Structure 1
Amino acid sequence: MYNLLILDIETVPFVQRYEDLDAVWQQLWWDKISKTVPENTTPAEAWQLRAGILAEFGKVVCISTGYFYEDEQKAVCFKMKTLCGDNEKQLLEDFIAIAGKFYQRNRQFEFAGHNIREFDIPYLCRRMLINGVPLPPFLQIHGAKPWDIKMLDTLQWWRFGDFKNYISLHLLANVLNVPTSKTDMDGSMVQEVYYVDKDLKRIAEYCQRDIVVVANVILRFKNLPLLKDTQVTVVT
């Protein structure tokens, strides 16, 4: 587990309202989404519900990363750093710099997280291409066979080979008796907190709590004690 770089991202639509899109993008949006939303859902309603989770219509506003290490007493500890801001391109470049340090030290390092194989990593890669940010060597995974992509995904772990099952991180934490990150907000609130409250600090704190939950889930799978607050360090 000391080879893992745990991550979580928070995303929002690239504009606040559907009405803020020009006519071309409004049509592109409806062409993309119309067949997958409930009947009688308007394009504007669908935008509020779904735009942030689609990389073509969203953007990254927060990336939290963390890793396990041993202290001088050989106790398992966890260190994390969060990138948060309005400049998505800068966020992506800073994330590449952090991950690049891991890659330089250990070419066998793996990304870890919950549902990162189907969401976080593909989303980051797509937004890098959209922003003109070159994909680093450790994210050159387009066209790769699934078994050649090294990632630790706690959603995949919980499936135990059952690819029909989906479980949220919140539910997984509760069934494994891991303290949850859903306290003052959850993922559905990120869009409002970003555009209405303009509170990036609150989003960053929520994102950080998520990766601590993932870290503890990994420890539960390994039958190891959960992290105490004193074992978690935030790098600013």
Structure 2
Amino acid sequence: MIEKINLNNILFLDIETVPETENYQQLDTEMQVLFEQKTQYQRKEDISAEDFYERAGIWAEFGKIVCLSVGFFANKNDIRNFRVTSFFGEETKILKDFSNLLNNHFNNPQHLLCGHNAKEFDIPFIARRMIINQIAIPEKLNLFGKKPWEIPHLDTLELWKFGDFKHYTSLKLLTKILGIPSPKGDIDGSEVAHVFYVEQDIDRIVTYCEKDTIAVAQIFLRLRREELLIEEEIIHV
């Protein structure tokens, strides 16, 4: 029962990713061929690999992380606090800083990671990029040899599915139907690459990523039938 989980033991997270290079032409010839092969089933016949490259950020082999936001409760007695912080900039530093956070502060058996569709996207993406960047995978991300009930990950999408594996509900839709203030601001996921490469406005991406992290925590509270966080309880650090 999720009601029995101590909120202080959960690290909520969200990532924003972009294609590893600004455009398709910056890939070497072999990577262009490999991207064409990788996406042949996703692309429609009239869409070239070059035109499809704007979506490359969804694959860890062709994308990279530009922001990783985390949030955690620091509740004491009847006082609730939700602290939000972000790692952004050069990907290797993002991954190392996140690894240090897990190893030093969220590495005990009771600690859990939670995101929306995190089991399918965020967590595998982070782990794969760590391997590509030759960074040791923290224990909380290392699933080798673990039984399903030993994996320390929660997923608000999975919790909402109630066992229905065919069902997908976006974060935006779930917040809407649960009466949670929308996390979406002036950009959406499809615009992150443009904001990063063209506008070079990482602050907008950080704000967007942090709003999603807060939304995941709000969904988790709603699933527990608890009061939503108010602005005064959210601390950006």
Count of residue pairs brought into register by the alignment: 231
Residue in 1 that maps onto 2:98: 95
Taking structure 2 as the reference length, the TM-score comes to 0.94
**1:224 aligned to 219, 223, 226, which one?**
226
In 1, are the aligned partners of 2:18 and 2:193 still within 8 Å (CA)? yes
Q: Pairwise CA RMSD of aligned residues?
A: 1.3
In 2, are the aligned partners of 1:193 and 1:203 still within 8 Å (CA)? yes
Taking structure 1 as the reference length, the TM-score comes to 0.94
Residue in 1 that maps onto 2:20: 14
In 1, are the aligned partners of 2:140 and 2:152 still within 8 Å (CA)? no
In 1, are the aligned partners of 2:102 and 2:138 still within 8 Å (CA)? no
Q: How far apart in 2 are the matches of 1:200 and 1:55? A: 20
Distance 1:30 1:142, change over 3 A: farther
Is 2:67 aligned against 1:65?
A: no
Letter in 2 for 1:111: L
Letter in 2 for 1:100: N
In 1, are the aligned partners of 2:13 and 2:114 still within 8 Å (CA)? yes
Structure 1: unaligned runs, 5 residues or longer: none
Residue in 2 that maps onto 1:205: 207
In 2, are the aligned partners of 1:8 and 1:64 still within 8 Å (CA)? yes
Q: How far apart in 2 are the matches of 1:94 and 1:150? A: 20
Letter in 2 for 1:88: E
Percent identity of paired positions between Structure 1 and Structure 2: 42
Shift of 1:153: 0.3
Q: How far apart in 2 are the matches of 1:143 and 1:107? A: 16
Shift of 1:99: 1.6
Aligned residue runs from structure 1 range 1-236, under 5 A? 1-48=7-54, 50-71=55-76, 74-85=78-89, 87-104=90-107, 106-235=108-237
Q: How far apart in 2 are the matches of 1:140 and 1:11? A: 21
In 2, are the aligned partners of 1:79 and 1:232 still within 8 Å (CA)? yes
In 2, are the aligned partners of 1:2 and 1:67 still within 8 Å (CA)? yes
In 2, are the aligned partners of 1:9 and 1:62 still within 8 Å (CA)? yes
In 2, are the aligned partners of 1:102 and 1:109 still within 8 Å (CA)? no
Q: How far apart in 2 are the matches of 1:232 and 1:178? A: 15
In 2, are the aligned partners of 1:65 and 1:81 still within 8 Å (CA)? yes
The alignment partner of 2:172 has SS state of: helix
Shift of 1:143: 5.0
Shift of 1:21: 1.1
Q: How far apart in 1 are the matches of 2:57 and 2:148? A: 25
Deviates more, 1:111-120 or 1:131-140: 131-140
Q: How far apart in 1 are the matches of 2:177 and 2:100? A: 35
Letter in 2 for 1:200: I
The alignment partner of 2:114 has SS state of: strand
Residue in 1 that maps onto 2:3: none
Q: Which runs of 4+ in 1 moved over 4 A?
A: none
Structure 2: unaligned runs, 5 residues or longer: 1-6
